[in-house]
Amino acid sequence: MKAPPRLQSLIEEGLIDTVVRQLMSGKEAMVFVVRSGERTLCAKIYKEATNRSFRQAVDYTENRKVKNSRSARAIAKGSKFGRQEQETAWQSAEVDALYRLADAGVRVPQPYNFCDGVLLMELVTDANGDAAPRLNDVAFTREQALAHHATLVAEVVRMLCAGVVHGDLSEFNILLAHQPSSDGAAGVDVPVVIDLPQAVDAAGNNHAHRMLLRDVANLRDFFGQFAPALLTTHYGPEIWNLYQAGLLSNDTVLTGHYERSKAAVDVGGLMREIDDARAEDAARRLRMLSH
């Protein structure tokens, strides 16, 4: 196909050779399949901030600490320079998160380049080498649902241990990739997490807790359609609690059960204890009086 204008500069710079086809035009980006030498890649072109949803803009401004103080001031003032800086920071957030997560062993597309607002990355593919489907486009057996849910909960833990909360994890932002086996057997489907511009720093962000709970609840609700037993699990709060206590690692065995600490919720029990103490005190005073 004819290359869209935003990909023209990448062709001129020799980063890509041809544009094969458009995959999607989503809320934040247009996604294309492109060729670069022998490789077929994925090019994600970010849309302008004005075309993105308000929620994302708010989350973004509240959440992100801009390191450079000139940029921070400009963003706060909403000047033209500020908007440009914010735009660049937003777009590079996805690249940063992809590198960080790939390093941590999370299954994400391998990023190759980020140039003029275009992210070049590995094309996640199905068994035919075509762009992989989203989880939302696939039906699962109960066993498959349980297995993929477990894999993805482990991926969330891995991300959190690397200091990242995805923030928009759902069946629309996870692809089902085909992984050929090395010994000629049939190969397996593995979930690959995509779409990370809104990812936040788990430690330094006020919304990280809420976002993590929502991400994990989305996994539960989606796979719960195929494996209803998942619907009563509580992996989100369990994961966050362990993380906060400094007890979470990639090998942590999770139960899916979560009981809030008794002291925090058992108000009735606490009141009984106070009453007991009062009664005991009153009894002591009475004894003292009677002596």
| Residue 35 sits in the site that holds ligand ATP (CB under 6 A) | no
Would you say 74 or 169 has its CB closer to ligand ATP? 169
Residue 195 touches ligand ATP, criterion: CB under 6 A:
yes
Distance CA 6, CA 117 (A): 8
CB of 253 to Mg ion, least distance (A): 31
Partner that binds at residue 24, options ligand ATP, Mg ion, none, CB closer than 5 to 8 Å by kind: ligand ATP
Chain residues 169-188 in contact with Mg ion, contact rule CB under 5 A: 173
For ligand ATP, give the closer residue by CB, 82 or 167.
Answer: 167
Among Mg ion, ligand ATP, none, residue 161 binds (CB under 5-8 Å by kind) = none
Contact (Cβ atoms closer than 8 angstroms) between residue 228 and residue 182: no
Q: Which is nearer to Mg ion, 22 or 241 (CB)?
A: 22
Known catalytic residue at 195: yes
* CA–CA separation, 249 and 243 (whole Å): 8
Specify the residue, 120 or 230, whose C-beta has the smaller distance to ligand ATP: 120
Q: Has 276 been annotated as catalytic? A: no
Rule CB under 6 A: which of 107-136 touch ligand ATP? 109, 121-124, 131-132, 134
Site membership for Mg ion, residue 85 (CB under 5 A): no
Helix (H), strand (E), coil (C) string for the chain: CCCCHHHHHHHHCCCCCEEEEEEEECCCEEEEEEEECCEEEEEEEECCHHHCCHHHHHHHHHHCCCCCHHHHHHHHHCCHHHHHHHHHHHHHHHHHHHHHHHHCCCCCCCEEEEECCEEEEECCECCCCCECCEHHHCCCCHHHHHHHHHHHHHHHHHHHHCCEECCCCCCCCEEEEEECCCCCCCCEEEEEECCCCCCEECCCCCCHHHHHHHHHHHHHHHHHCCCHHHHHCCHHHHHHHHHHCCCCCCCCCCCCCCCCCHHHHCHHHHHHHHHHHHHHHHHHHHHHHHC
How many residues comprise the chain? 291
Considering the rule CB under 5 A, would residue 195 count as an interface residue with Mg ion?
A: yes
Output the six-digit token pair for 187.
């190969």
**Closer Cβ to ligand ATP, 101 or 131, answer by number:** 131
The site partner of 28 among Mg ion, ligand ATP, none (C-beta below 5 to 8 Å per kind) is ligand ATP
Nearer to ligand ATP, 16 or 74 (CB): 16
Pair of tokens at residue 291: 């002596």
* Catalytic residue from among 59, 189, 195, 215: 195
Tokens of 289: 């009086």
Site string for ligand ATP, 58-77 (x = CB under 6 A): --------------------
Q: Does 194 bind ligand ATP (CB under 6 A)?
A: yes
Does the protein bind Mg ion through residue 218 (CB under 5 A)? Answer: no
Q: Please tell me the distance from the alpha carbon of residue 175 to that of residue 137, in angstroms, as a whole number.
A: 9
Contact letters for ligand ATP, residues 4-33 (x by CB under 6 A): -------------------xx-xxxx-x--
Residues annotated catalytic, as ranges = 168, 195
Task: List residues binding ligand ATP (CB under 6 A).
Answer: 23-24, 26-29, 31, 42, 44, 109, 121-124, 131-132, 134, 172-173, 175, 194-195
Binding site for Mg ion (CB under 5 A): 173, 195
